[in-house]
Amino acid sequence: MIDRLAKAAVLAAMIGGGAMAAETDLTVERLEASPALSGPNVQGLKFSPDGKRLTFLRGSADEAARLDLWEYDLESGEASLLVDSAAMLDGAEEVLSEAEKARRERDRSLTGKSGIVSYDWNAAGDALLIPLGGDLYVLPVGGKARQLTATDAFEGDARFSPDGKYVSFVRDRDLYVVDVESGAETRLTTAESDTISNGMAEFAAAEELGRYSGYWWSPDSKTIAFARVDEAPVMVLQRYEVNDDGGVTSIEQRYPKAGTPNAEVSLGLAPIDGGATLWVNMGKDKDIYLARVNWAPDSKTLLVQRLSRDQETLDILRASAATGITDTLMSEKSDVWVNLTDDLTFLPDGRFVWTSERTGFRHVYLSNGVNGDLKQLTSGDWVVDSVLKVDADAGLVYFAGWMESPLEQHLYSVPLAGGQVRQVTLEEGWHDPVVGAGVFIDKFSSPDQPPQVMVRDLKEGTTRFAVIENKLDDSHPYAAFAANRARTEFGSFEVAGGTELHYRLYLPADFDASRQYPLILNPYGGPHGQRVKKSWSLDFNEILARRGYVVMVIDNRGMWNRGLKFEAAIKNAMGTVEIADQVAGVEHLVKEGYIDRERVGFWGWSYGGYMTLMALSQAPDVFKAGMAVAPVTDWRLYDTAYTERYLGMPDAPGDVYEKSSVFAHLGGLKGKLLLIHGMADDNVFFDNSVRLMGVLQTNIVPFELMTYPGKRHGIQGEAVRAHLWGRGLDFFERNLK
């Protein structure tokens, strides 16, 4: 095995023309290596129910992707390691089920992560549930962990019941509960065939609808609502995973391509004593999506969100927990599409907070819980991102969003009775808060501040404790590289109709506007993929800027956080306005005088990879070279829930799918292309790139190719990602310099 120093030498030679880089030069290997250059990264931030502790998941010092459980005592102000995942596994290799691998790939926050990826507090706040290595452990506060399950099967999606007496989980496609005290298990469901699962989110829900679970506890801990999924109607694809050991695995995957049948989903109510399941009536139309499920506080009623196949109607059904009978409480309708949220939050009296885009911008509403009447609490040409907490006692709704600039995110509050919106957070930048009692956890960053975790006062916004200050000082992992750090600038320009587009620039540290620089664009470009934020960024674009490139990231029309009209620009027209906006961005910078228009490149991942191919094909005189990673090439190869939302059905009039396909435009491709794809990608199938290779070869179009055996859509692993960035840098160095 090549040791780390040898690998550093190999990579330096590979991307630097054979010369070893100086120690303070940031290499692609160091960019991906541990400890993380941005400092400690945390996720899963939670207040303990008693409000005395803050718990979170943090990467280990020597392996950033392996997560351990930490706690921060809010009284003493001390942070400590609560559970070391490696120690708990005691040297055993962590083996994940295929279902768990897929779940982590669907949930982007878990992609590539290992160790403790989730945990749950019981209601009393005196014990934690820790899933690890496929089994479940209960850790009493101040005590020793006790193993709750010990099977060869994988127990997933585990959580405490609201009263803390039980733990629920999914094993082998069925739903179970286990008594915490006695350890006695009860199997609540029985999957009748290998196409049926109970308590799990189907592919479309997890990948495209933001629903990662398939079951919901009643507040009284007596019943679990669960999704029964039958995938029999879904087409079976043979997906081939080419592994890094030279083997090829053929996997039959039920994948709902656009225009083909989806899984059939039913909603059942299972008593935890093992009694008969009651089925909820979700209507005659079975070709729908089960979007969300929320129990009312009295456990007598559920609100079931039913989304139409075309995603233009969201019905909120009120279901009786005693009979399963439903009626429609209210509906959201749009001639664009309805964006789903997790914002429905009940008050103790049965009223609930809701968010809607019925004005064109997402805002907060209050429902009386009796009929469809809504009282609007916020308004204006700005966006509420998510409801974070409803404090019934204080009469306040706390939410994240923006009022002044979409480049920032802040914490706000608004009275339930209506009134003035108050901004809580103070610093300019991007705040990702978790609201507690009297305080909030602020995961905050800005272009000059790496991600930090602070405990702040809910009234004043001022800091009480620094959990992870992550100060950019001489002791910071990035300190050795700070001298040549890329400069960051933000700007905007207008496109047709006077629409303002925002962009972020990465500039060489010694940038001189009197010189001519090569330019590389790096958008995501697709729906719900905002990239231009006043937040910390340390990625491949930093490497490029250090090598003398100007990198421009533009949030084009069609993306999230600017209102529904801004998003709707791509409806039935993917690959049109996005490319026009990127070209306009190039022209905007060229007018500034420091860009060499003959040396303009493009790179992107996933939708950004699709954008790369479309840019090279539609604007070959603008873009000379492009790196496309895991690109969609034909939307007929992609899934129902995503593709049909934006393009409708494949058989609709107008040849929408044909026009949005890369293959309709490849005749214009003249620039240099580097195509990269993971050979086990179960999201954007490798088929997309295989078909592209065939067409390019048939038409004698030269291109470069790099594939990664065994890697899925995220292409994870420190060494592998360093290799990927090395190939990308080498490609641009050869073609734009």
Q: Which residues are catalytic?
A: 606, 681, 713
Asked whether the beta carbons of 270 and 223 are under 8 A apart, the reply is: yes
CA 45 remoteness from chain centre: 16
Nearest-angstrom CA–CA distance, 175 and 213: 12
Nearest-angstrom CA–CA distance, 436 and 429: 21
* Nearest alpha carbon to residue 572 among 645, 623, 502, 508: 645
Helix (H, G, I), strand (E, B) or coil at 582: helix
Nearest-angstrom CA–CA distance, 190 and 538: 47
Instruction: Give the number of other Cβ atoms within 10 Å of residue 229's Cβ.
Output: 26
Q: What letter would DSSP give residue 80?
A: E
What are the percentages of helix, strand and coil residues in the chain, rounded to 5?
20, 35, 45
Spell out the long-range contacts of 185-193 with Cβ–Cβ below 8 A and sequence spacing 24 or more.
Answer: 186/272, 186/273, 186/274, 187/274, 188/224, 188/226, 188/270, 188/272, 188/274, 189/226, 189/228, 189/268, 189/270, 189/277, 193/232
Helix (H, G, I), strand (E, B) or coil at 565: helix
Write the DSSP assignment of 124-152 as a string of letters.
Answer: TSSEEEEEETTEEEEEETTS--EE----S
Can you give the C-alpha Rg of the chain in angstroms? 26
* Residue 226 phi, psi dihedral angles, 5° rounding: -145, 150
Burial class (CB in 10 A: 0-12, 13-18, 19+), 478: middle
Preceding peptide of 35 cis, ω within 30°: yes
Asked whether the beta carbons of 524 and 607 are under 8 A apart, the reply is: yes
Dig out the tokens for 291 from the structure.
Answer: 């979007």
Nearest-angstrom CA–CA distance, 300 and 325: 12
Asked whether the beta carbons of 182 and 163 are under 8 A apart, the reply is: no
Strands 236-242 and 248-254: antiparallel
Angle at alpha carbon of residue 586, lines to 581 and 591, rounded to 5°: 125
